[in-house]
Structure 1
Amino acid sequence: MLEEILASELLTRVVAAVAEGSDRAGQRDEFSPIAQAIYLSHLEARNRVQAAILDRRGCTVSDAVRLNRLRCMIERWIDVLIGQLAGHDLELVRYGIDIERTTAHAKEFDLASTSPTRETVAWLTRASMTDAIRQKVAKNPS
């Protein structure tokens, strides 16, 4: 259960950022209020998971270490993905974990947007993220 909360944070933040960016681009306020409410609820759940990891409530030391590693990895991938979105709309960096890291990814994405290899970079990024998360979350990683 704690794993799922940590892993789903990536999706929650990306959807909230996409909703906000879409609403801003369309000059409306349709999707972002819903996504924002879900995002804020997820932040509360995330804080509880972090407290459980720190207090080691209901888990062993090795479980706490594993969950913390998963959290760190998810946070880095959040910054990569939000950075790509923020390459189109810099205000979206607020959905990243580390604002400096997210902004750096946004600048890299902006520079790469004219590169002929951008599709390859995007494909490799998605493949790397999928593999990394699958290995950390799967019960029996292969």
Structure 2
Amino acid sequence: MVEKFEAGSEQWIGALREVVEDALKGVDVTGVRVAFYEEYLNPPAHLLADGQTTLTWRVEISEEAIQVGPGRIADPMFGLEADYEGVLRLARVHSADPALPEIVRDLETQGRLRRFGDQSKLPPQIAAALVTVHDEIAKRTE
């Protein structure tokens, strides 16, 4: 059985790092520069770093390194801002679940999810790896 962690916790971000690294093993990242982040509004107080009011994590993929950790990125390719409780609905759902598009629509309509940037500019091999990342971290999210 896979160990599960609270979304956004240090342990969850560590699991995300492992999942991203595993998903990108053997993937050609020559010339790739991908950076994105997710920011969660109204997270549980115990998940917040000192002085922070939101919970943010980032992924940066390039030839030089793959970095996953807390914090924003100055110039992201894409990202999202979402209400913490709302994003949990997304975080736990497999990408092939037919309910996923409806969950996204509901959250956007309610103003609880805002996406920005352009994911369509992702190199195809990175886009495919990120679908795998979503599905694997969903299995590890409480």
**TM-score band w.r.t. shorter chain:** under 0.3
Q: Radius of gyration: which is bigger?
A: 1
Structure scoring higher RCO (CA < 8 A, sep ≥ 6) equals 2
| Structure with greater proportional strand content | 2
| Structure with greater proportional helix content | 1
Scaled by the length of structure 1, the TM-score of the pair is 0.23
